[in-house]
């Protein structure tokens, strides 16, 4: 889409700020990217994103839009909430959020499903219409996940996430009986020096402070603890690492606990993934507090029925 027009402003203004305000369906980062790639000219000259424009300057802009190479696939979605700007989904476990490099997992991901469901009603990211997924978790975790459908909502949610203006609550089942009904775990965690695919609270590389709060909701078979957890920091594998560090790991966590204990859970409950579910998101949208709740999936729900 190509546009040529004259500027009418009272005082000079940065060109990227002016264009992102004018084309409100495109994010400022997108506008900056097309400027960097020489798709914007002022008075017939290629410019940089930080130059200032003035009244009666002529702007020539090419809003480059490409189609996504990702395949749109009809996959059932468990939709919690939807409007013109945002989609909130209760993601199943054992499904990837994004396609990963290589032959496997290029299809049948959450992105493929959203591309089919939303068609072209999605933000433009790096010149391609694609879903902007606000936050990510492990493939085997079920959770409430937000998807921005417009550039303006993408920018707004990015700001909320960056400034931590959101509350996130999880439900989990841990090995053992945690006696403290309310507890706090605070430690430094990050990469395991012996395995870069794992996180650790013991001598991590480049340690980062992590803080979690837990509440005991009940016990299962007098052997496991059903928990509600709020995280104050958002570290990779934070809940899994924190619970394992105090010797109450999440059941069927094949990364942070032993195989023998996991087999016991498989044989008794037929649970085939770690028992962790991101159940609730609370944030300010449309000038009010909104809460999105994701119901437990059946595999965990049938275990906690015994409480």
Distance of alpha carbon 39 from alpha carbon 17, whole angstroms = 16
Per-residue DSSP letters for 148-164?
E-SHHHHHHHHHHHHTT
Under 8 Å between Cβ of 126 and 259: no
Cα torsion angle, 55, 56, 61, 63, sign: positive
What lies within 8 Å, CB to CB, of 264 at 6+ separation is none
Per-residue DSSP letters for 235-256?
-TTHHHHHHHHTT-PBTT-TTT
The closest alpha carbon to 140, from 256, 305, 292, 267, belongs to 256
Alpha carbon 130 to chain centroid, angstroms: 14
C-alpha distances (whole Å) from 55 to each of 13, 48, 151, 175, 263 are: 9, 18, 27, 67, 71
- Residue positions annotated with a catalytic role: 138
Alpha carbon 242 to chain centroid, angstroms: 20
What lies within 8 Å, CB to CB, of 27 at 6+ separation is 20, 123, 124, 151, 152, 154, 155
Question: Is 241 exposed, middle or buried, given 0-12, 13-18 or 19+ CB atoms closer than 10 A?
Answer: buried
């Amino acid at each position: 889409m190509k546009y040529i027009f004259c500027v009418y402003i009272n005082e000079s203004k940065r060109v990227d700020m002016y264009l992102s305000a004018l084309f409100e369906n495109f994010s400022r980062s997108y506008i900056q990217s097309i400027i960097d790639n020489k798709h914007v000219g002022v008075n017939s000259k290629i410019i940089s994103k930080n130059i200032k424009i003035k009244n009666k300057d002529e702007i020539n802009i090419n809003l480059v839009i490409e189609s996504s190479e990702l395949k749109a696939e009809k996959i059932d979605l468990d939709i919690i909430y939807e409007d013109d700007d945002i989609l909130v989904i209760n993601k199943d476990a054992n499904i990837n959020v994004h396609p990963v490099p290589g032959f496997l997992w290029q299809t049948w991901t959450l992105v493929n499903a959203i591309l089919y469901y939303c068609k072209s009603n999605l933000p433009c990211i790096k010149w391609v219409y694609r879903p902007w997924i606000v936050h990510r978790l492990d493939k085997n975790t079920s959770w409430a996940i937000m998807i921005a459908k417009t550039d303006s909502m993408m920018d707004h949610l990015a700001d909320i996430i960056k400034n931590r203006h959101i509350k996130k609550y999880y439900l989990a089942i841990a090995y053992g009986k945690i006696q403290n009904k309310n507890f706090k775990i605070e430690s430094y965690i990050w990469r395991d020096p012996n395995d870069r695919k794992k996180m650790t609270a013991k001598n991590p590389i480049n340690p980062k402070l992590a803080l979690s709060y837990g509440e005991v909701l009940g016990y299962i078979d007098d052997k496991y603890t059903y928990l509600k957890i709020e995280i104050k920091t958002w570290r990779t594998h934070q809940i899994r690492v924190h619970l394992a560090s105090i010797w109450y790991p999440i059941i069927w966590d094949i990364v942070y606990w032993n195989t023998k204990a996991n087999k016991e859970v498989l044989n008794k409950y037929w649970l085939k993934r770690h028992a962790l579910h991101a159940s609730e998101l609370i944030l300010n949208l449309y000038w009010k507090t909104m809460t999105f709740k994701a119901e437990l999936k059946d595999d965990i729900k049938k275990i906690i029925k015994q409480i």
